[in-house]
């Protein structure tokens, strides 16, 4: 009963904040804008039919339309609105809960009652998460209805955004709570949490960029090796039937040398890149994986056959025609880029839930333990 009373009191304090209702109102507007997108027999309609864009692939009944619509939700609305803008508003609304409670003297009256400090601490913490859970839940109900009515897919996995976004927010809020208790300043807690968030973003972005370069070099090395082997085979065939003065041999030997030089250069680049990538990957492994946590929703909702918004954005819709390059050619940049993206996507999807969320929660648990220990022992 005491814990429930604490939760109720903290929730009343939080719901009184104007930003709670501002954020909720914007979420409703975003859902309405999302629902205004539909599909006709010839293309995409926007603004409930005000504007129509003709498309060969995006039209009523197309699998690309499903990927496009779901992709807007998981790749843009969740990643940009919920994971950035709404999260900032939530942090602004909740960053002062602990500092104000400690600094205003309210804590003296509260702890004078037979209430454990840990109960008090976690009640305040859980209600702050409830701020995010309510926002995302209402948002997901609207999206669920839009997707069902627009493309006829009543997908319950849409509601997976609720625990995903709440978990993502908890990584940041744990740091905010610790700093807020230590400094008794909501502004300081918000600023340091922002710095921490940007640090996470920098680590994850750096790792992703370096990993792309590493994967690109690995693809190049394999393809150069393929070119070397193919050239050697051609040289051997010509040597059996022609003289050493055959002009084809001169051309093939030049090509062989070019492949060997390119492979050596790629191997040197790979070694240099790996020396930068490995330490950053280690730091990422022990840090909260905010971007990858949000990316779980895209993984779970994406089309297993590749009919998703990533292929649309990359212009790969025609790649489903299965047109392949018969022989390796180092000038086929598009083929190399597709192979690099495919390998990176496969590696990304191979990351287990434990790696993405489990290790992140371990970090969060350590920060919360520090905050709870200080809150319990500090003489306020």
Question: Sorting pLDDT into bands at 50, 70 and 90, what band is 66?
Answer: confident
Residue 303: predicted pLDDT? 63
Q: The tokens of 36 are what?
A: 């205004």
Q: Residue 332 and residue 325: Cα distance in Å, rounded?
A: 8
Question: Sorting pLDDT into bands at 50, 70 and 90, what band is 73?
Answer: confident
Q: Which of 1-5, 36-40, 120-124, 146-150 has the highest mean pLDDT?
A: 146-150
Residue 324: predicted pLDDT? 42
Q: The tokens of 90 are what?
A: 């939530």
pLDDT of 334 strictly over 50: yes
Give the pLDDT confidence of 85-135 residue by residue, as tens digits: 889 988 988 888 888 877 655 655 565 565 677 888 888 888 888 888 888
CA 272 remoteness from chain centre: 27
Q: The tokens of 175 are what?
A: 């740091």
Using the structure block, give the residue that is written with the tokens 């949000």.
294
- Predicted TM-score of the model (pTM): 0.83
Give the pLDDT confidence of 304-314 residue by residue, as tens digits: 655 555 555 55
Residue 52 is classified by DSSP as: E
Contact (Cβ atoms closer than 8 angstroms) between residue 79 and residue 204 = no
Using the structure block, give the residue that is written with the tokens 């492949």.
259
Burial class (CB in 10 A: 0-12, 13-18, 19+), 25: exposed
Q: The tokens of 200 are what?
A: 């996470």
Residue 293: predicted pLDDT? 93
- Helices H / strands E in the chain, number of each: 15, 3
**Domains in the chain: boundaries:** 2-223+273-377
The CA-atom distances, in angstroms, between 368 and each of 115, 117, 354, 371, 372 are: 19, 14, 19, 5, 6
């Amino acid at each position: 009963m005491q814990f429930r009373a604490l939760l109720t009191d903290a929730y009343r304090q939080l719901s009184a904040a104007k930003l709670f209702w501002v954020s909720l109102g914007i979420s409703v507007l975003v859902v309405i804008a999302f629902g205004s997108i539909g599909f006709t027999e010839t293309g995409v309609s926007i603004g409930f039919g005000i504007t129509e864009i003709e498309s060969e692939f995006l039209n009523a009944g197309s699998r690309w339309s499903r990927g496009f619509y779901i992709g807007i939700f998981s790749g843009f609305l969740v990643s940009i609105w919920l994971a950035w803008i709404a999260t900032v508003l939530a942090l602004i609304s909740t960053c002062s809960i602990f500092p104000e409670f400690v600094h205003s003297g309210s804590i003296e009256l509260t702890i004078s009652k037979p209430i454990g400090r840990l109960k008090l601490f976690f009640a305040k913490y859980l209600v702050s998460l409830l701020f995010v859970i309510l926002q995302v839940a209402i948002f997901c109900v609207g999206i669920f209805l839009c997707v069902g009515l627009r493309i006829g897919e009543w997908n319950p996995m849409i509601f997976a955004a609720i625990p995903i976004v709440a978990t993502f927010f908890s990584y940041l809020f744990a740091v905010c709570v610790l700093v807020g208790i230590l400094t008794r300043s909501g502004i300081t807690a918000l600023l340091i949490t922002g710095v921490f968030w940007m640090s996470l973003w920098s680590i994850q972005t750096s790792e992703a960029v370096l990993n792309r370069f590493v994967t690109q070099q690995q693809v190049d090395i394999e393809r150069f090796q393929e070119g070397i082997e193919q050239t050697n085979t051609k040289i051997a065939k010509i040597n059996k039937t022609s003289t050493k003065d055959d002009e084809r041999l001169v051309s093939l030997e030049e090509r062989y040398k070019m492949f060997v030089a390119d492979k050596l250069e790629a191997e040197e680049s790979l070694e240099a890149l790996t020396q930068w990538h490995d330490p950053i990957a280690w730091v990422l492994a022990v840090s909260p994986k905010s971007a990858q946590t949000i990316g779980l929703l895209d993984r779970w909702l994406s089309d297993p056959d590749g009919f998703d918004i990533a292929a649309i954005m990359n212009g790969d819709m025609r790649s489903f025609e299965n047109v392949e390059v018969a022989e390796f050619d180092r000038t086929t940049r598009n083929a190399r880029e597709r192979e690099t993206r495919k390998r990176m996507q496969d590696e990304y999807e191979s990351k287990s839930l434990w790696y993405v969320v489990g290790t992140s929660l371990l970090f969060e648990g350590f920060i919360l333990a520090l905050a709870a220990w200080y809150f319990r022992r500090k003489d306020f």
